[in-house]
């Protein structure tokens, strides 16, 4: 079966991360499939809302490290950057259902969603610094705006997990539910939206985002350039080497 499942029903395009044996870690091929689907959704009049979901035990463990090292995002046309731009520019309502771990991009992609529903087992983390890297997906811009500087700094500089209730408190999550109910609840909300006039939904979303759209795309591009450079630097090499060798990284002097 595909690592990304696409299902359409009642105007809702549901994209399911379907790589449970690898905790839904994302490969370059998966980023390409997600980007393709979002680009189609943007143009297809039969798609009125988009929902991204995982499994009740895990949403996304971030990048697949081995695949990431083999195919690093060296330019702005890399699949991950295509996916991020498609997220940021989708004019139709975008929802997410999150249960279990949501690591790295598993958390930052939520900053571009309009509605996010979480299981009470959800654990969000952005451990970029711990990997010798920098934030991505415009999270350096959007996270302080949503969380406030101090909470954003705690999330991005320490990279430690925070949980569903805390995510709801800072506005990242709309509602917390039992993990077995999250996907179905998000699907029901997506269907509610799909029954409304699409033109009104799109205009409303556009008006809410009009002041930050250019900033978001600019932040994504800048972060992407820095991210690609930092991948080649000693701290990231040590972090990824330690991960692959299952040891604690040594950042002394870095």
Please write the tens of the pLDDT for every residue from 55-66.
999 999 999 999
For residue 87, give Cα distances in angstroms to 32, 91, 242: 12, 9, 32
Phi, psi of 4 (to 5 degrees): -125, 115
Please write the tens of the pLDDT for every residue from 175-201.
999 999 999 999 999 999 999 999 999
pLDDT at 230: 95
pLDDT at 74: 81
Spell out the alpha helix ranges (H) of the chain.
28-43, 65-70, 79-89, 105-108, 139-147, 149-153, 164-169, 179-194, 198-209, 213-231, 234-245
The answer, yes or no, to whether residue 116 has pLDDT greater than 80, is yes
pLDDT at 225: 94
Q: How far apart are CA 12 and CA 45, in angstroms?
A: 11
**Under a CB-based contact definition with an 8 Å cutoff, are residues 223 and 136 in contact?**
yes
pLDDT at 252: 94
Q: How far apart are CA 111 and CA 82, in angstroms?
A: 16
pLDDT category of residue 75 using cuts at 50, 70 and 90: confident
User: Can you name the residues that pair with 102 across neighbouring β-strands?
Assistant: 60, 124
The answer, yes or no, to whether residue 1 has pLDDT greater than 90, is no
CA dihedral sign of residues 141, 242, 99, 12: positive
Q: What is the mean pLDDT of residues 6-15?
A: 98
Percentage of the chain beyond pLDDT 90 is 96
Please write the tens of the pLDDT for every residue from 124-137.
999 999 999 999 99
Q: Which of 80, 137, 147, 70 is nearest to 107 (CA)?
A: 137
pLDDT at 46: 97
**10 CB-near residues (< 8 Å, 6+ apart):** 191, 194
pLDDT at 76: 86
User: Can you name the residues that pair with 13 across neighbouring β-strands?
Assistant: 8, 50
Please write the tens of the pLDDT for every residue from 84-108.
999 999 999 999 999 999 999 999 9
CA atoms within 13 A on the CB side of 94: 21
Please write the tens of the pLDDT for every residue from 217-242.
999 999 999 999 999 999 999 999 99
């Amino acid at each position: 079966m595909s690592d990304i499942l696409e299902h359409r029903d009642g105007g809702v395009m549901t994209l399911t991360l379907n790589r449970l044996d690898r905790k839904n870690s994302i490969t370059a091929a998966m980023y390409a499939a997600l980007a393709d689907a979002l680009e189609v959704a943007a143009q297809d009049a039969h798609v009125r809302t988009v929902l991204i979901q995982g499994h009740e035990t895990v949403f996304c463990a971030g990048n697949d490290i081995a695949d990431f090292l083999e195919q690093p995002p060296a330019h702005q046309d890399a699949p991950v950057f295509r996916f991020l731009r498609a997220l940021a520019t989708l004019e139709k309502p975008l929802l997410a259902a999150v249960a279990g771990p949501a690591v790295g991009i598993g958390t930052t992609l939520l900053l571009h969603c309009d509605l996010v529903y979480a299981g009470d087992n959800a654990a969000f983390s952005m451990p970029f610094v711990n990997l010798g890297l920098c934030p991505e997906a415009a999270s350096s811009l959007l996270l302080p705006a949503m969380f406030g500087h101090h909470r954003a700094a705690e999330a991005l500089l320490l990279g430690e997990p925070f949980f569903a209730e805390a995510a709801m408190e800072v506005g990242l999550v709309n509602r917390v539910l039992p993990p077995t109910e999250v996907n179905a609840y998000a699907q029901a909300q997506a269907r509610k939206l799909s029954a409304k006039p699409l033109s009104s939904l799109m205009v409303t979303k556009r008006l809410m985002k009009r002041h930050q759209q250019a900033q978001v795309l600019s932040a994504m591009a800048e972060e992407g350039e820095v991210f690609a450079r930092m991948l080649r630097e000693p701290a990231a090499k040590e972090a990824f080497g330690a991960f692959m060798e299952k040891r604690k990284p040594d950042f002394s002097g870095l």
